[in-house]
Amino acid sequence: YFFLEGFDFGIGVLTKLLARDRRERRVLINTIGPVWDGNEVWLLSAGGATFAAFPEWYATLFSGFYLPLLLILVCLIVRGVAF
């Protein structure tokens, strides 16, 4: 996920360094516009495919990681709101 999402994270981190004004910041953010949620869709699809193919493994894996998965979800929401 982080490998595929690296472009989006990089733009988010570099807006303070590369953008001198609001117009340049908007140009940087618009470069990730077409692919913004594509990687989140692959992440959800992988979770759904795991549930469909290996339900016992899915139950064991995901029940042990409720708190970390919730924190990741909250961070993704906050990141989207920050933009």
How many domains does one find in the chain? 1
The C-alpha atoms of residue 27 and residue 43 are separated, in whole angstroms, by 27
Q: Spell out the per-residue pLDDT of the chain, length 83, in tens.
A: 666 677 777 777 888 888 889 999 888 888 877 777 777 777 778 888 988 999 998 888 888 888 888 898 888 788 778 76
pTM beyond cutoff 0.75: no
Angle at 37 between CA 22 and CA 7, to 5 degrees: 60
pLDDT at residue 32, rounded to an integer: 79
pLDDT at residue 3, rounded to an integer: 66
Q: What are phi and psi of 5, to 5 degrees?
A: -90, 0
Range of the domain at 37: 1-82
